[in-house]
Structure 1
């Protein structure tokens, strides 16, 4: 179908992908309403895409084949050596399994910029626009929808898409009963220029650039890999440290502790956690992270029971919050946008488009959330005794987690839920 006006609330990866999809469908007007006043390239979070999922997104036009990324081929699972065994001459611990790993890693800001550059020129981006409410106009799904901004102004559109993250204003209108549920643990996160590795004993030598490393300990794990830097040719270290809930953390709703705001005492808590549980080399990798690049993110689950209501639609983290273990967050967002675009090509009306999108992506989202929960149990909250694990045991343990899912790294594009 062609024509009509579309508002996209949120201009990050999901929002840019949906805006591009709406423009390609032939919407006469596409407006992206982003609350941040500036550009978003400085968001330094690392993420990964499975090689097959990346290739699918290139073939369908969502990403360019030359999108800057860092190749990963092996995932090394390691743990601290047993008493008297030590952590090896390089301080990297005992190798449990060298798992084949067909992924590429990305810098969030670099991937977002690649999506923005592919967004058709007619899309209007309004930065510094905070949407405080949305709703349906008269007529329900056969009518229109509206957005209201912080200044009280209202605008009407044929469709309003919520790509505004896990604290979504649009989701509150689509299904107010759906709220992110705390999973019971957190991840500390950080990133920095990989040149800093030279300050460690052995420098970067113990860590080949194509290796992702997962350091396991009772009650958590740290996933460490390199990502592209903002400048072409540069790389950064990126790590995600799953850990028990700190005693000081108070959760009265979905939240995170942003980079630069952690106190000395809380950063010291992270240092002690690293030294207590990680082999010396990997504790040193975490310790190199500057305060302004360190933050804490509680882990949540969310699977909205439906994704549309009248002329409102949600996608990305507004619709499903999946634990990072899945390695599928960005892929999920772009696949949501692709499913929306496919539904629009086949539909003869807005209600037909919304119904088709809802059927496919609601079911797929539920499956991804359930897989994330299973991976979280297996790897964090009910993890095995790592001291008794070896390569055959690790391979069997991994396969057991994925039995009947097929979703690690994201479902194949176009797969029905």
Structure 2
């Protein structure tokens, strides 16, 4: 199929990837509508991509070469024990074949790889979308409307395109929150007292929560990224109607005090001190949500990334899923003879994948936050069984292998 016009609502990782896929597939016009005026590259969060998924994505052109990444090989599970030393006691270790990325640097690489023909329009708010057999109408915040042959929702948790395709679908609060942050790796190393294990993900475990810590490349050198899952603080200082309630730099004194107390009470001394060095501007707290949609495509509307399914971060699959969505979109376009063919093919490839990822991440969340086991008292055989129960037949975390094109 050649020609046609495509609007991509949202210009972050999923949006850039889908826009590039549409342009390379032969769309006559591709427009990206991104509500943020600032530089998305300034977002400093870390993420990981499984090595096998990265190889698949690179092979189909969905993951451009040259984007800075840090190699990880193992996952270390530790608990706080006074006699174990400042870094805690290692009670389990797993292979972890991943590379870590800085969100902003990954976005910058994807944005640079987007064909010049794509119109990227920052600072544009999309108020609503409607779709039907004749095309899609995108209503902008200034009251104007634009017509396209297809509208792609890459607009995240609060997707207006999802609301048009799956009315009433909302992310559901999981009952706990995650604290996120990152800091210059040199500041942590200056503390001494423990080997930072630069090739490892360290998981600090405690009753009712866990924290994943790993290195990422940063614009000015390596950084340490951390994601801490735990019950929310009492007293109503958080609200749960927005997955991004407290962005970086907006922590209240109550939230900061709660985080400091958690680090002092539950963490090995080294990691507690290291994470406490994180600047407030690089720290935020996010209620955890998930969502499954009934469909990802129909009526000239298509969903990708978090707009299509909201997966708890435990699965380490968010970026890979967004890029796989783009790869599946490109493959469906290549085979399609009509817009209906494209939408049906995409739904067949990605609808079930999103639902499976949500289910796996829910199991991981229950086991590692909501119903934590006595990790430190378990032997290797028990721990391996505990892990297999979470996977429930899935090959591992990091996302599923892409189905080969017919």
* TM-score (normalised: structure 1): 0.94
| Correspondence 1:267 to 2:262 | no
> CA offsets per residue over residues 286-324 of structure 1, 9 Å max, x none?
101011000001111111111123111111000101111
Deviation for aligned residue 1:263: 1.8
Match 1:230 to one of 199, 219, 222:
219
Deviation for aligned residue 1:146: 1.1
1:17 counterpart SS class? helix
> CA offsets per residue over residues 10-60 of structure 1, 9 Å max, x none?
000000000011001100100000011122111011000000001111111
Alignment of 1:192-211 (within 5 A): 192-202=183-193, 205-211=194-200
Aligned residue in 1 for 2:141? 150
| Correspondence 1:243 to 2:234 | no
- Structure-1 separation of matches of 2:7 and 2:298: 15
| Correspondence 1:280 to 2:276 | no
Alignment of 1:131-146 (within 5 A): 131-136=126-131, 140-141=132-133, 143-146=134-137
Q: Unaligned stretches of 5+ in structure 2? A: none
Aligned residue in 2 for 1:106? 101
> CA offsets per residue over residues 129-169 of structure 1, 9 Å max, x none?
01111112xxx22x011111111111100000000001101
Whether contact under 8 Å (1:371, 1:407) holds in the other structure is no
Alignment of 1:10-409 (within 5 A): 10-81=10-81, 86-89=82-85, 91-136=86-131, 140-141=132-133, 143-202=134-193, 205-231=194-220, 234-247=221-234, 248-406=237-395, 408-409=397-398
In structure 2, relative to structure 1, the CA distance for the partners of 1:127 and 1:93 (3 Å cut) is same
- Structure-1 separation of matches of 2:311 and 2:371: 18
In structure 2, relative to structure 1, the CA distance for the partners of 1:44 and 1:87 (3 Å cut) is farther
In structure 2, relative to structure 1, the CA distance for the partners of 1:309 and 1:328 (3 Å cut) is same
Whether contact under 8 Å (1:135, 1:145) holds in the other structure is yes
Q: Unaligned stretches of 5+ in structure 1? A: none
Deviation for aligned residue 1:230: 1.5
> CA offsets per residue over residues 180-210 of structure 1, 9 Å max, x none?
01110000000111121144243xx511211
- Structure-2 separation of matches of 1:380 and 1:87: 25
In structure 2, relative to structure 1, the CA distance for the partners of 1:19 and 1:404 (3 Å cut) is same
1:41 counterpart SS class? helix
- Structure-2 separation of matches of 1:115 and 1:241: 28
- Structure-2 separation of matches of 1:335 and 1:252: 29
Whether contact under 8 Å (2:243, 2:288) holds in the other structure is no
Whether contact under 8 Å (2:189, 2:196) holds in the other structure is no
Whether contact under 8 Å (1:368, 1:407) holds in the other structure is no
2:111 counterpart SS class? helix
Q: Which runs of 4+ in 1 moved over 4 A?
A: none
1:260 counterpart SS class? coil
Two-structure CA RMSD over aligned residues (Å): 1.4
1:276 counterpart SS class? helix
Aligned residues: 403
- Structure-1 separation of matches of 2:91 and 2:69: 27
- Structure-1 separation of matches of 2:242 and 2:272: 31
Deviation for aligned residue 1:175: 0.3
